[in-house]
Structure 1
Amino acid sequence: MKKLSWANKFVFSINIVVAVLLILGYISPYIPVKSFPRISIYSLITPILIIINILFMLYWGLKFKRQFLLSFLILLLGYPKVSSLYKFSGKEEVVGNGALKVMTYNVRVFDVYKWIGGDTEVFDQIKSLIKEENPSILCFQEFYFTKEDKFEEFPYRYVNYKTKETGQAIYSKFPIVNKGSLDFPNSGNNAIFADIVRDNDTVRIYNVHLQSFHIDPQSEELSQENSTRLASRMGAVFSKQQVQTDIFVKHFSESPYKTITCGDLNNNQYSAIYDQIRGDNIDTFEEQGTGTGKTFYFKYFPLRIDFIFTDPSIEVISHKNRYEKLSDHYPVIAQLQL
């Protein structure tokens, strides 16, 4: 520090603070959500902290200052988390290999309330996108009741409504031999499952939608003035997500079949919720994704909160994200080899 100018000493002081915050981001998934719900907020800002530490590392590196080691070592310590922020290689599509194609999509009730607007009906565009992708298994979150009979290309379906109009849906081109709902208490969110038979294999498909924050990133006032209220509200949501996750994990642990878990976790890959829902399974983006894999429209930084997880014995052939703005979420598609 002695050889640094006063300006660089100030920069390095900020660097230290951001490095310590990133360490907190690393350890936050291991701190019980029920005891300290607000600590989970660190999981949401971990991507920003990673990017800032990368910038600090480059700043000191270009100046040939050994201070670059601080952010470098912190980033190296959390390399698996850092590498999940951006993938440089992967397969988006493989044709003709007999794989099971799975798609998950939070459709935000097909824009029936005209949040997106436009001249073309959003539902028709979503249906065209699904027809183009032609998945074998299709999971919807925030499904709208008037659309239940509109996907005639899927002969089998299970739809469960948590409100009079909205719920979860699983559509399949293969027979559904068993199905059920996990019935999250005191919530419009839920998880459902369907046991699907393909040839001689039975696979359990979970469709999970954890508690929402109900924050519109385009209009919510994220000012210092309401930060305490917002943090309290987010802490309450994290606590509710933990209750829902516990229900899911217990049910999942009793599955007699290989599993594929789809859905909107309303939490990112740096959270305790993600670790628990994923368990020992494979994140298809981690295996074959490219880029940031963002799944939620947020103009400030990429959020990946929608996932497909597979049993370790199921090979991930490809992973793809579509970025048509037909909802506040983007669809996630993966090809799997049973």
Structure 2
Amino acid sequence: MKNLSFLDKIFYLLNSLLATLLLLSYLLPFISPSTIPFFAVLSLFVPVLIIINLVFFIYWLIKLKKQAFLSVFVLIIGWFFSSPFYKISSRNSYLNSDLKVMSYNVKAFDLFTNKKDSTSNTGYDFITDKNPDILAIQEYYQSTKIHLSYPYKFIKRKNDKGKFGMAIYSKYKIINSGSLDFKGTSNNIIYVDVVKKKDTIRIYNLHLESLRIKPNEENFGEENSEKLLKRVTNSFEKQAEQTKLFLTHEQKWQGKKIICGDFNNTAYSWVYNQIAEHKKDAFIIAGQGLGKTFNYWFPMRIDFILTDENAIINQFKSFSEEYSDHFPIQAKVNW
């Protein structure tokens, strides 16, 4: 510190604080939001902390300062003990017998015409073009304008008179379906059992408690920060309760399974860690790049496709088409 200018001393103090926060974030997967709700908020900002620490490392490296070791040390720990922030290589093989699964939060279909696209393409055209065997939709809204042609489907509305809910479309016969029916929320988890040749595969579609943060809308940032923090921490607590309900239900099914949906939380969270335990994450196995699934200024991966440990994931894609505030994700799975 003695050989640093006053400005560099300020930078290093800031660097130390942010490196410490990143280091603490590695504990997030092991601490339930029910225990320390406030701490769970940090999971949303892990990608930002990684980027900032990388910038600090480059800054000190250019100046040939030993302070570069601080951020690189914390980043290396995360490389080995945390979910990957960036995937360099991908797996891009396929078999004719692969099950192609797409998960998509469509935001009630209200953005299914791409305003940036000069053509007449819609989100329905996009789904038809990708032609998934299984389509799991979060934030479904019943409408006569929906153009999805599948022989089988399970749609669960929040109530009999409402139009909002969740849906699973399938090319394969659905022999069983159900819902966990969360109380006091519009979020839910539904599931179906589909038969593909001699296999019965369970498909879960998750939409965990929403944080109700809409950064692209005009009122974002105007709300009292204390109220915003309280609402977000309450949402994390609800996510923890919903996760426990899901795990209790899921443990009763010992067969082949795929879990997909909008977790409203990142891969650095307790929620993800609990659900992904003893499973394969399609992005980690076969994805490439940042895997961004939410349309925000920094990369947030909050939508997932997970499988049982015996599954073979041959391909994973996160698309960039802006028909919703989420990006669709797709995986090819086999056993």
- Could you say which TM-score interval applies, normalised by the shorter chain? over 0.9
Q: Please tell me whether the aligned partners of residues 282 and 306 of structure 2 are also in contact (alpha carbons under 8 angstroms).
A: yes
CA gap 1:294/1:149 in 2 versus in 1, 3 angstroms: closer
What is the match of residue 329 of structure 2?
Answer: 332
| SS across alignment from 2:26 | helix
Change (3 A) 1:95 1:77: closer
State the 1:20 CA deviation: 0.9
Contact preservation (8 Å) 1:176, 1:197: yes
Q: Which has the higher helix share?
A: 1
1:160 to 149, 156, 163: 156
| Residue 149 (structure 1) shift | 7.4
CA offsets 1:122-176 (integer angstroms, 9 cap, x no match): 9x71221111111111111111122597422x21111111141111111111111
> 1:105 aligns to what?
104
Report if aligned partners of 2:94, 2:332 keep a CA contact under 8 Å in 1.
no
Whether the 8 Å contact between 1:86 and 1:290 is mirrored in structure 2 is yes
Aligned to 2:13: 13
Find the partner of 2:263 among 258, 262, 265. Answer: 265
Unaligned runs of 5+ in 2: none
Residue 320 of structure 2: aligned partner: 323
- Tell me the amino acid that sits aligned with residue 10 of structure 1: I
The one of 127, 133, 138 equivalent to 1:136 is 133
Deviates further, 31-40 or 243-252: 31-40
1:109 Cα deviation from its structure 2 partner:
1.2
Structure 1 residue 32: deviation in Å? Answer: 2.5
**Normalised by the size of structure 1, how large is the TM-score?**
0.92
Residues 1:288 and 2:272 are matched in the alignment: no
Q: Mean alpha-carbon deviation: is it higher for 70-79 or for 223-232?
A: 223-232
**One-letter amino acid of the structure 2 residue matched with residue 232 of structure 1:** K
Report how far residue 82 of structure 1 moved. Answer: 6.2
Work out which of the residue numbers 226, 243, 246 in structure 2 matches 1:245: 243
SS at match of 1:146: coil
On the 8 A contact 2:134/2:168 being kept in 1, the answer is: yes
CA contact (8 A) 1:87 1:292 kept: yes
Shift of 1:87: 1.3
CA contact (8 A) 1:161 1:167 kept: yes
For residue 128 of structure 1, what is the amino acid of its counterpart? Answer: D
**2:201 alignment partner in structure 1:** 203
Which one-letter code corresponds to 1:178 in the other structure? N
- RMSD of equivalent CA atoms: 2.3
The question of 1:176 aligning with 2:182 is answered no
* Aligned-partner Cα distance in 2 for 1:85–1:312: 22
- 1:307 Cα deviation from its structure 2 partner: 0.6
**Distance of 1:54 and 1:86 partners within structure 2:** 13
Partner in structure 2 of residue 68 of structure 1? 68
Alpha-carbon distance in 1 for matches of 2:62, 2:147: 57
Q: Which moved more, 1:22-31 or 1:51-60?
A: 22-31
C-alpha distance 280-96 of structure 1, shift in aligned 2 (>3 A): closer
Aligned counterparts of 1:82 and 1:243: Cα–Cα separation in 2: 24
1:181-196 alignment runs, 5 A limit: 181-196=179-194
**1:224-252 deviation line (CA, Å, top 9, x unaligned):** 97222211110011111111111111111
Aligned residue number for residue 301 of structure 2: 304
1:16 aligns to what SS in structure 2?
helix
Mark the CA change 1:264 to 1:225 in structure 2 (over 3 Å): closer, same or farther.
closer
- 1:168 aligned partner, one-letter code: M
**Closer/same/farther in 2, CA of residues 139 and 83 from structure 1, 3 Å limit:** closer
Q: Is the 8 A contact 1:50 1:82 kept in 2?
A: no
Quote the Cα distance in structure 2 between the aligned partners of 1:149 and 1:12.
54
- SS of residue paired to 1:206: strand
Q: Distance in 2 between matches of 1:34 and 1:205?
A: 27
Structure 1 residue ranges (4+ consecutive) displaced by more than 3 angstroms after TM superposition: 80-83, 93-97, 114-122, 147-150, 220-225
Distance in 1 (CA, whole Å) between partners of 2:117 and 2:287 is 33
TM-score relative to the length of structure 2:
0.92
Identity within the alignment, %: 41
* 1:97 CA drift (Å): 3.4
3-state DSSP class of the match of 2:224?
helix
Q: Kindly tell me: are residues 95 and 132 of structure 1, through their superposed partners in 2, closer, same or farther at Cα, counting changes over 3 Å?
A: farther
Deviation track 1:18-68 (CA, whole Å, cap 9, x = no partner) reads 111112211123222112211111000111111111111111112221111
Instruction: Pick closer, same or farther for the CA change 1:241–1:75 going to 2, 3 Å.
Output: same
Letter in 1 for 2:298: F
Partner of 1:126: 123
SS of the counterpart of 2:267?
coil
